[in-house]
Amino acid sequence: MGRRRGMMSEQFKIELAKELGFYDTVKAEGWGGITTRDAGNMVKRAVQLAEEALAARRS
């Protein structure tokens, strides 16, 4: 089985990491250096932004 391609662009992930306060860790250690909690918070924020964009589109 091949590796799954990520859904979020690298730039979007960087913006989220900066917003959530763990970009320094990403810069120093790469994405493997973040905690599971940070990764979960990043996904939650991405979903929240997507829902907001969808709601704005419907209005």
**For residue 59, is pLDDT > 90?**
no
pTM for the full predicted model = 0.83
pLDDT in tens, 17-31: 999 999 999 999 999
Structure tokens at 30: 């790469």
Mean pLDDT, range 28-49, rounded to an integer = 97
**For position 35, what pLDDT does the model report?**
97
- With b for 16 or more beta-carbon neighbours within 10 A and e for fewer, the 20-36 pattern comes to eebbebbeeeeeeebee
